[in-house]
């Protein structure tokens, strides 16, 4: 069953025409309602954000930018894009925004086209230390057509800063290779990023500083993580993670020249027609993020992450870097059970209704399809109203399932307790409107 009356009306409408598609939608709605979503990059968007995408805005081609389109009939699409851009600039405190990237990886691809020539050198975090595939993976365009050099996390176990960014190594790598672009911002990094320090290094080696804030955009918008501005020259992000908008990307800068270069590199450089239904939805999401309640939400996201990390550490799991400052954590499973892999843990937890992803930990000896770690995040559970008390319960669910090594009866028991808990904390729906 869909989780609110508008979803039900939409399901009914689709069912009248296409029972197969409606069935898939109903089953996914039920899955989201009754499982615990701990994937750090996922969230539950509000009904207004979701329904803005299910509209006639999808019917239009609007190639170009407001006031400079290649198609007629764009009056209201110009308004939608202006609204989204204005709200994005206000939210992040910068002068220029491009709301058309279809995704974070598309935004990064356009950034490479805008700023680099094939073969140019850029610096980013070692991918095995938590970097993103669009930051120089060999099979990604960024790693195939450009020349990535990588900086590591601190590897000295005796250092109080173990597994945090090694700023001295960043500087050494940058001074040796003189990259044209220095990237910071990560997919699995639980600590605060020092953008000011990165800027000092970028200035010293002559690089443009780029922050990919996909994971922490919501925290930044709410003032719960330091802003990349004024330090970073260019910023890219997704809009659907902590920011809780529709699935999509965003580019931000204070530099007019870089803004123009990015606009051209995105369209016509790498994308065609923008997804205007998603652009309208981005405007709605940015409007939500400008509300005071969004700051309370992000504060709770962090408090919940701390509570979950503490409870897991109490149960014998090592959390990389010793904890978390943001919405996510990396759990080293080997301290609880030397043979346990991330792949097994992910599978067993899913069978109990706990959804998360296996993730390499820094210097992981196991391959990426096995891993020694799990990445857990709290944005989605916080949206459904979970507080610290529920996070402690979630930690005990996780430990019971992993302790049992995937025993089916334990999974079934935990699954039914999770179902009960989820019913007490329903997903945001048309009745509750804007989520907690």
Which residue numbers are catalytic? 61, 63, 212, 238, 241, 247
**Closest separation in Å from C-beta 414 to ligand DSN:** 24
| Residues in 211-270 at the binding interface with ligand DSN, rule: CB under 6 A | 214
Q: How many residues bind ligand DSN (CB under 6 A)?
A: 5
**Closest separation in Å from C-beta 293 to ligand DSN:** 25
| Residues in 157-216 at the binding interface with ligand DSN, rule: CB under 6 A | 187, 214
Q: Which residues contact 68 (CB under 8 A, 6 or more apart)?
A: none
Identify the bridge partners of residue 125 per DSSP, sorted by sequence position: 151
Contact between 235 and 213 under an 8 Å Cβ cutoff? The reply is yes
- CA-closest candidate to residue 111, choices 222, 239, 253: 253
Peptide bond into 123 cis (omega under 30): no
**Closest separation in Å from C-beta 104 to ligand DSN:** 6
**Closest separation in Å from C-beta 103 to ligand DSN:** 8
Question: Which segments of 59-130 does DSSP mark as H helices, in order?
Answer: 75-92, 104-115
Q: Does residue 371 bind ligand DSN (CB under 6 A)?
A: no
Query: With respect to ligand DSN, which residue has the nearer C-beta, 41 or 164?
Result: 41
Q: Please state, as a whole number, how many other Cβ atoms lie within 10 Å of the Cβ of residue 233.
A: 21
Q: Does residue 136 bind ligand DSN (CB under 6 A)?
A: no
Structure tokens at 3: 């989780």
Residue tagged 């000295």 (tokens) = 156
Measured at CB, which residue is nearest to ligand DSN?
41
Q: Does residue 41 bind ligand DSN (CB under 6 A)?
A: yes
**Closest separation in Å from C-beta 133 to ligand DSN:** 7
**Closest separation in Å from C-beta 316 to ligand DSN:** 26
Query: With respect to ligand DSN, which residue has the nearer C-beta, 57 or 214?
Result: 214
Structure tokens at 370: 């096995």
Structure tokens at 415: 């699954």
How many Cα atoms occupy the beta-carbon half-sphere of 92 within 13 Å? Answer: 33
Report the residue from 47, 64, 104, 185 that binds ligand DSN according to the rule CB under 6 A: 104
Identify the bridge partners of residue 151 per DSSP, sorted by sequence position: 125
The span from the CA of 397 to the CA of 414, in Å, is: 6
Peptide bond into 94 cis (omega under 30): no
Q: Which of 117-140 are b and which e, b meaning 16 or more Cβ less than 10 Å from the residue's Cβ?
A: eeeebbbbbbbebbbbbbbbbeeb
The span from the CA of 325 to the CA of 161, in Å, is: 13
How many H-runs (helices) and E-runs (strands) does the chain carry?
A: 16, 15
Q: Interface with ligand DSN by CB under 6 A: which residues?
A: 41, 104, 132, 187, 214
């Amino acid at each position: 069953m869909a989780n609110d009356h508008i979803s039900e009306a939409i399901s009914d409408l689709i069912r009248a025409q296409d029972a197969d598609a409606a069935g898939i939608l109903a089953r996914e709605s039920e899955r989201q309602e009754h499982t615990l979503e701990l994937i750090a990059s996922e969230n539950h968007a509000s009904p207004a954000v979701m329904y803005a995408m299910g509209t006639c805005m999808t019917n239009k081609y609007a190639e170009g930018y407001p006031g400079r389109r290649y198609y007629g009939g764009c009056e209201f699409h110009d308004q939608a894009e202006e609204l989204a851009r204005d709200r994005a600039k206000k939210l992040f405190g910068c002068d220029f925004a491009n709301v058309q990237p279809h995704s974070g990886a598309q935004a990064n691809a356009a950034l490479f086209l805008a700023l680099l020539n094939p073969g140019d050198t850029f610096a980013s975090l070692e991918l095995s230390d938590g970097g993103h595939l669009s930051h120089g993976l060999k099979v990604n365009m960024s790693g195939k057509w450009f020349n990535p050099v990588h900086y590591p996390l601190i590897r000295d176990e005796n250092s109080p800063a173990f597994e945090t960014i090694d700023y001295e190594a960043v500087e050494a790598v940058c001074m040796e290779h003189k990259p044209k672009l220095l990237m910071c911002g990560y997919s699995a990094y639980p600590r605060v990023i020092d953008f000011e320090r990165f800027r000092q290094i970028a200035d010293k080696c002559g690089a443009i500083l780029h922050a990919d804030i996909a994971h922490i955009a919501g925290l930044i918008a709410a003032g719960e993580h330091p802003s990349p501005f004024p330090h970073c020259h260019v910023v890219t992000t997704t809009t659907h993670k902590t920011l809780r908008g529709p699935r999509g990307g965003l580019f931000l800068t204070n530099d007019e020249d870089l803004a123009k270069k990015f606009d051209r590199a995105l369209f016509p450089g790498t994308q065609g027609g923008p997804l205007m239904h998603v652009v309208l939805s981005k405007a709605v999401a940015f409007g939500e993020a400008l509300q005071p309640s969004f700051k309370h939400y992000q504060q709770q996201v962090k408090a919940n992450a701390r509570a979950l990390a503490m409870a897991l550490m109490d149960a014998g799991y090592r959390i990389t870097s010793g904890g978390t400052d943001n919405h996510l954590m990396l759990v080293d499973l080997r301290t609880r059970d030397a043979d346990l892999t991330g792949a097994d843990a992910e599978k067993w937890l899913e069978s109990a209704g706990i959804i998360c992803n296996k993730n390499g930990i820094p210097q992981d000896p196991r391959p990426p399809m096995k891993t020694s770690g799990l990445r857990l995040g709290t944005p989605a559970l916080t949206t459904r109203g979970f507080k610290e008390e529920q996070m402690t319960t979630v930690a005990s669910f996780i430990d019971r399932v992993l302790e049992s090594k995937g025993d089916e009866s334990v999974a079934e028991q935990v699954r039914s307790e999770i179902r009960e808990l989820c019913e007490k904390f329903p997903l945001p729906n048309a009745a509750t409107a804007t989520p907690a």
